[in-house]
Structure formats: structure tokens, C-alpha cells
Amino acid sequence: MSKKTALVTGGAGFVGSHIADYLKNEGWNVVVADNLSTGKESNISDDIDLELIDLTTGDINKLTKLIKPNSIFHTAAQVSVSKSTKLASFDAEQNIVVTIKILEALSTVGKGNESFLFISTGGAIYGNTKTIPANESLIPKPESPYAISKFSSENYIKYFRKNHKIKTSIVRPANIYGPRQDPNGEAGVIAIFINSMLNNKNINIFGDGENIRDYIYITDLVKGCILASELYLPYPINLGTEKGTSVLEIFNTLSKYCKYKLNPVFLDKRPGDIDKIILDINKAKNLLKWSPDIILEDGLKRTIDWFVKNN
């Protein structure tokens, strides 16, 4: 039996590279599509093929014909809420238009049995909901262009699923953290904090630090994504921990393990930031038979260890 082929968009980035590694270890042929604008070639294993392509301008139809993927794992995205509030059109191009182009490619050059997994957002899509933990039956109330673009993409995916019979899956992850996360961007507070602490730099906290997030470790996310990609469920699935942690709690825990002595610098709250979000994961537990394995403190230690070795 021939190996299955997976195309991982954004596979040189944080989430994509971990998905690519998992699939390769499971015996897949894996092709990464990335322009390396934010991803790193060093994140890609030697036995994984890299196709250098800008998904906003490149010929995705040609790439799909060339690779003939059995599955596409679409992780390429603009992931910063704050950047989306400054550059809404850029965010829409990266997150909505690219998603549509890939779906169009699958619908026109695919054989009809390919699957498509989309990584949406659980941390931003529900907005400042009073329902905590937030479950998938809530009507999303996105409060940033980033969240709007993810919700819009979800609706395009539903359209292509219904009208082009594509086997689609959508996951809504909590705030993802772990090894390889970019500490130099505007997203990923844990990576940003660890990198600054290890280099004894000042750390900015936007708002009072009491905003609550649900944090999921990268290996738990990957397992959930793989399971979701195999079931083709017609609705989004939350992937989180059902536990909330404030930014100040993250800061204090990381300070202890990084032996960091400086106080944080408090700045004005950023537009689009959510006050509190914790995800209900009952659907993932019941339908995917999935639950997270890594508790936050262990995940933070693992992430610190990786940054120490790779700083």
C-alpha cells in the first residue's frame, strides 16, 4: 500500500512543523508549503519536503496537482490579534483569501476524497462571552479582525463542504504554547515572556494582567488535530484544557523557573484583546476521545527547557 501524502501549509512555523513531524513519524509523505516569512527552515526535518511558495500570490492549483495530497493541514495564518487591528486588509488576505484559494484548488484539481483540516481560534472567536467555559453552540462574537477572519474562513469551509463535497474538519484551539513558538512576534505570550526573561529584558503586560486564558500545549493540540482530521465532523471542535490562567499567573510562574527578578511594565490594554476565555472540551472528549495530557506547569517547564537549549 502506497504512503499517504499530506500537505502542511505554514509547515515551517510553530504549529505546522509539529503537525508535519507527527505525520512523518506516522509514515506519511509530508510536503510543507511555506514562504519562510515567519517560519524557519530549521523547524523542518530533513526528510520532509519544502515547497517555497507564497500562498497569497503563488499557484496553489499547480502545487496541488504536483503533490496530489490525500490531506491538507492548513496551519498557515496571520496569528496576531494586535497586528490584525492595525492591518485588517493584510489579515483578511492571509487568513480568508488564502483559505478560499486552497479550497478552490481542492475542489477543482482534487479527486474528491481529499480531507482538509483548518485551525481556527477558540481563544478569540467567542469574544467576551458570559458563558464560561465557552462551548461550540455559542454564536461567535469576534471582536478583532483576526477573529473575524477565522470565523469568515469557517463559513467558507462550510460552503465548500456542502457544495463541493470536501471532507473538512475545523478545530478551535485555546492559546497554544510550546517549543518552536516565535518569541519575536506579537502573539504567543509564553514564548515572548520566556525569551525576555532568559535575556533579562523588560516584559510588557497589556492591561492589568488579570485577563484569563486557556493554554494548550502543542503536543496535545497536534493529537487533537490529527483525530479531528480523520472524522470530518461538520462542525468546529474546541481543543483546550477547561482551565483558566491569568497573564500575571503565567508571569509569576515563569519568573520562578527562569529566576527572573524584574517587575513587569504595565501598558494600556490592546484593542481586540479578550478579558476571559476558557473552552468547554466535552465534544472533543466524547467525539474525538481526546483530552489534554500536559498540565500547564509541566508544559511551561518543557517550553523553558527548549528555549534554554535553543536560545
The verdict on residue 33 lying in a domain is: yes
Question: What pLDDT, on the 0 to 100 scale, is given for residue 272?
Answer: 83
SS3 172: strand
pLDDT, tens digit, 9 for 90 and up, residues 111-120? 778 899 999 9
Burial (CB < 10 A; 0-12, 13-18, 19+), residue 289, is exposed
Residue 270 domain-assigned (yes or no): no
CATH number, domain containing residue 47: 3.40.50.720
User: What is the amino acid identity at position 158?
Assistant: K
Mean pLDDT on 280-308:
98
Task: Supply the pLDDT for residue 80.
Answer: 84
Cis peptide bond N-terminal to 133, omega within 30:
yes
Decide if 167 is inside a domain: yes
Give the Cα separation of 240 and 292 in Å (integer). Answer: 7
How many domains in the chain?
A: 1
- In the residue annotation, 146 being an active-site residue is answered as yes
Q: Over pLDDT 90: what percentage of the chain?
A: 90
Which are the contacts of 51, defined by CB distance < 8 A and separation ≥ 6?
31, 32, 33, 34, 63, 67
DSSP 3-state of 270? coil
So what's the pLDDT on residue 112? 73
Tell me the whole-structure pTM to 2 decimals: 0.95
CA-based end-to-end distance of the chain: 42
Residues 77-106: tens digit of each pLDDT: 988 888 999 999 999 999 999 999 999 999
User: Is 63 a domain residue?
Assistant: yes
Q: What is the pLDDT of residues 23-61, one digit of tens each?
A: 999 999 999 999 999 999 999 999 999 999 999 999 999
- B/e letters for 107-135, b = 16+ CB within 10 Å, e = fewer, are bebbeeebbbbbbbbbbbbbbebeebbbe
Which SS3 state, helix, strand or coil, does residue 220 take? helix
Residue 89 domain-assigned (yes or no): yes
Location of C-alpha cell 518552536 = 180
Rounded to an integer, what distance in angstroms lies between the CA atom of residue 34 and that of residue 25?
A: 20
Residue 205 lies in a domain: no
Spot the catalytic one: 22, 126, 146, 215. 146
In a domain, 252, yes or no: no
Chain-centroid distance, C-alpha 306: 19
Instruction: Give the domain extent around 27.
Output: 5-178+215-242+281-287
Is 147 inside a domain boundary? yes
CA distances from 163 to 97, 106, 109, 168 (A): 18, 12, 15, 12
Grid-cell match 479531528, residue found: 228
Tens of pLDDT, residue by residue over 125-177, are 999 999 999 999 999 999 999 999 999 999 999 999 999 989 999 999 999 99
Closest CA to 277 of 172, 81, 123, 119: 123
Among candidate residues 62, 59, 66, 73, the one with its CA nearest the CA of residue 115: 73
